[in-house]
Chain A
């Protein structure tokens, strides 16, 4: 028996553990027990991912893991490097904090006999996101995109109110359109390359570019796949599904959907850029330019929509649209520095937006189900912890120094210097977008700290300890990312160099 490299098994273990817990939870009848199983599972995966991250960073390696007995062009494969490991760590820690902080919302809003089903969906969603991060096979990516879609729709409609059904329908139709386009792209790509695994496809595509045969199909396929991914990750013109869905869902679901699910599609997109189409081909096909323009448009338009919104959750949803715009702008710059900024912003946005959604959910609960910012005057005084959390999150989104959002903006600005011809556009839009962010976040922050006239504000006595822990954890993470960001950006730079090889 040969020596087994256990660390290389971690991606496979994580995906299967999450799926296994999803299956087992079907037998559980009690929501609390399902919650415990879920938390333990996520924690184990967190520990494993940290080990994986340390190992791949130390060895500076990117490895493939054969799923089965058959090597690359015949069997499925997983692939893990620093980027994948970093994302797995982030996903698991954000998942852990969000679900434990938002568990009270789940137990309150979901009918008791259906709470285990909610956790089945959470486990499956988590497994599918990990699979999307780790996969090295385009058809596996498609299957797990569908699992992601179904599970995220289930998370939205778990509340069971008619509004959430409407939101889910909207979300479902638009995401199915996206996956349909992605599938069509996969089919055409298969017919012109003859492979389904990333490395083999990349070779075939480089060949196509050289021989000029199938040039038009390649262009259209790339377009379709990226439109599909853009629809799924709610890039600006395709964002219409977000506000209704996030507004009507449980705050925990909204946080996970906006913080993690959208990001998993973007990471798949980044892997496609580097491992399938390769950055040069993307550049010659001008796809990056298109993403860049839509990203810029999203940054401005998302903020403009958010300003017009009077309901807090919808405002946060539109703010997500703007932040997704930032990420696509970074990807669209077409340089490695831009990609680093985009990856860092994925992390920053994941930890900040989930924090904001959790705090917002808690405000809504305290003010008796009223959702307008107007009704939340003084909400922070009733629940100071959530107030502090919201303030930190909002300041981070605006880009105040010492917080994560500031660092990503700095990186975007630096990256613009390296991409010729885009610098002016990036800097101007970045400035405009920051002002707009401040214009809609600051009033809400001021509103929650100003007491309503004539109404005495008493702090809510019972803040659940888990909620407190998760808010404090998110705030700390925000400061950690904002202060000691160097090691993380170094990991991202390293991983992008490895990916681009």
Chain B
């Protein structure tokens, strides 16, 4: 099997996932870290959306009254992506709220510095 040439959507999505992961590991700034996480999520949705497509078929909404499974693309990945997007929105909102609280107390967004200051405070 050699589908790398045809599966370029999937290939791009896994590269994006890797970029997001790298961002998560390398960035010190918390907001950039969470952007990395978002890139990872989006990459997974691209992957899923690509898996649902079938050549030459149309979106899964009844058109011209045709009830035939070989006329529409696969609706399942679309539903999964929808669920996934909502989850990722919620998680992003939660993490940004956390970042806001952290910034209010520590005055910085740098994770290393925050860890250090908090360790100092704890040590007393």
| A interface residues, Cβ below 8 angstroms from B | 139, 143, 146, 149-150, 153, 157, 162-163, 165-166, 168-169, 172-173, 176-177, 180, 183-184, 187-188, 190-191, 196, 213
Contacts and interface: CB of A to CB of B under 8 A. Distances in A.
Contact of B102 (A149, A162, A196): A162
Contacts of A139: 80, 83
A190 B48 CA distance: 9
Interface in B32-71: 33, 37, 40-41, 44, 47-48, 51
Chain B interface residue bracket vs A = 35 or more
* Top 7 A-B pairs, shortest CB-CB distance: A162-B105, A191-B51, A166-B118, A146-B87, A180-B40, A187-B48, A165-B101
Nearest to B100: A165
B37 A180 contact: yes
A196 B115 CA distance: 41
Contacts of B105: 162, 165
A187 B17 CA distance: 13
B52 to A, nearest CB: 9
Interface string B64-108: 000000000000110010011001001100110011011001100
B94 A172 contact: yes
Contacts of A190: 48, 51, 76-77, 80
B98 A143 contact: no
13 contacts: A139-B80, A143-B87, A163-B118, A163-B121, A165-B102, A165-B105, A166-B114, A168-B98, A169-B98, A180-B37, A180-B41, A190-B76, A190-B80
A187 B14 CA distance: 12
Contacts of A149: 91
Contacts of B17: 184
Given A162-B118, A172-B95, A184 B90 contact: no
Contact of A169 (B21, B41, B102): B102
Contacts of B91: 146, 149-150, 172, 176
Given A146-B91, A187-B51, A162 B106 contact: yes
Nearest to B41: A180
A173 B94 contact: no
A180 B84 CA distance: 10
B47 A187 contact: yes
Given A169-B114, A176-B37, A180-B44, 15 more contacts: A162-B105, A162-B118, A162-B121, A165-B101, A166-B102, A172-B95, A172-B98, A173-B24, A173-B37, A177-B21, A177-B37, A183-B84, A184-B44, A190-B76, A190-B80
B94 A150 contact: yes
Contacts of A163: 118, 121-122
Contacts of B122: 163
